[in-house]
Amino acid sequence: MKVAFFSSKPYDKAFFSQAKEASFFDFTFFKVHLDVTTVGLTAGFDAVCVFVNDDLSAEVLAGLSDNGVRFIALRCAGYNNVDLSVAAQKTLKIVRVPAYSPHAVAEHALALIMALNRKTHRAHNRVHEGNFALDGLLGFDVFGKTVGIVGTGRIGAVFANIMKGLGCELIAYDPYPNSSLDGIVEYVGLDSIWTRAEIISLHCPLTPESHHLIDDVSIGKMKAGVMLINTSRGALIDTKALIKGLKSSKIGWVGLDVYEEEADLFFEDLSNQIIQDDVFARLMTFPNVMITGHQAFFTEQALESIAETTLQNLLDLKKGLECANEVRN
Ligand code: NAD
Residue nearest to atom 31 of ligand 1 (CA): 205
What does the pLDDT read at residue 329? 84
Cβ-based neighbours of 234, under 8 Å, separated by 6 or more: 256, 258, 259, 260, 261, 262
User: What percent of the chain is predicted at pLDDT more than 70?
Assistant: 100
Is 75's C-beta closer than 6 angstroms to any atom of ligand 1?
Answer: no
Q: How far is residue 106's CA from residue 163's CA, in Å, rounded to a whole number?
A: 10
236 pLDDT above the threshold of 90: yes
Strands 2-5 and 47-50 come out as parallel
Q: With contact defined as beta carbons under 8 Å apart, do 48 and 4 qualify?
A: yes
What does the pLDDT read at residue 75? 96
Mutating to test ligand 1, I would choose from 53, 96, 174 the residue with most ligand atoms within 8 A of its C-beta, which is: 174
Please give the distance, rounded to the nearest whole angstrom, from the Cα atom of residue 108 to the centre of ligand 1: 15
Is 223's C-beta closer than 6 angstroms to any atom of ligand 1?
Answer: no
Q: What is the CA radius of gyration of the chain?
A: 21
219 pLDDT above the threshold of 90: yes
User: What would the mean pLDDT of 261-284 be, rounded to a whole number?
Assistant: 94
- Atom of ligand 1 at shortest distance to CA of 76? 43
Instruction: Assign 191 a pLDDT band (cuts: 50, 70, 90).
Output: very high
Please give the distance, rounded to the nearest whole angstrom, from the Cα atom of residue 245 to the centre of ligand 1: 24
264 pLDDT above the threshold of 90: no
Q: What is the pLDDT of residues 27-71, one digit of tens each?
A: 999 999 999 999 999 999 999 999 998 999 999 999 999 999 999
Instruction: Assign 166 a pLDDT band (cuts: 50, 70, 90).
Output: very high
Instruction: Assign 131 a pLDDT band (cuts: 50, 70, 90).
Output: very high
Provide the CATH topology of domain 2-100+299-327.
Answer: Rossmann fold (3.40.50)
Instruction: Assign 100 a pLDDT band (cuts: 50, 70, 90).
Output: confident
**What is the DSSP secondary-structure string of 278-300?**
HHHHHHTT-TTEEE--S-TT-SH
Higher pLDDT, 184 or 329: 184
Please give the distance, rounded to the nearest whole angstrom, from the Cα atom of residue 137 to the centre of ligand 1: 33
Strands (E), the chain: 2-5, 26-29, 47-50, 71-74, 93-95, 146-150, 169-173, 186-187, 199-202, 226-230, 251-256, 289-291
User: What would the mean pLDDT of 298-307 be, rounded to a whole number?
Assistant: 96
What does the pLDDT read at residue 72? 98
87 pLDDT above the threshold of 90: yes
pTM above 0.75, yes or no: yes
199 pLDDT above the threshold of 90: yes
C-alpha count within 13 angstroms, C-beta hemisphere, residue 41? 18
Is 106's C-beta closer than 6 angstroms to any atom of ligand 1?
Answer: no
What does the pLDDT read at residue 41? 98
- Range from 24-28, 75-79, 271-275 carrying the lowest mean pLDDT: 75-79
Q: How far is residue 97's CA from residue 317's CA, in Å, rounded to a whole number?
A: 14
Rounded to the nearest integer, the mean pLDDT of the chain is 97
Q: How far is residue 258's CA from residue 297's CA, in Å, rounded to a whole number?
A: 11
149 pLDDT above the threshold of 90: yes
User: What would the mean pLDDT of 95-101 be, rounded to a whole number?
Assistant: 92
Q: What is the location of CATH 3.40.50.720 in the chain?
A: 2-100+299-327, 102-291
Question: Which residues participate in catalysis according to the annotation?
Answer: 233, 262, 294
Provide the CATH topology of domain 102-291.
Answer: Rossmann fold (3.40.50)
What does the pLDDT read at residue 263? 87
What does the pLDDT read at residue 78? 86
What does the pLDDT read at residue 25? 96
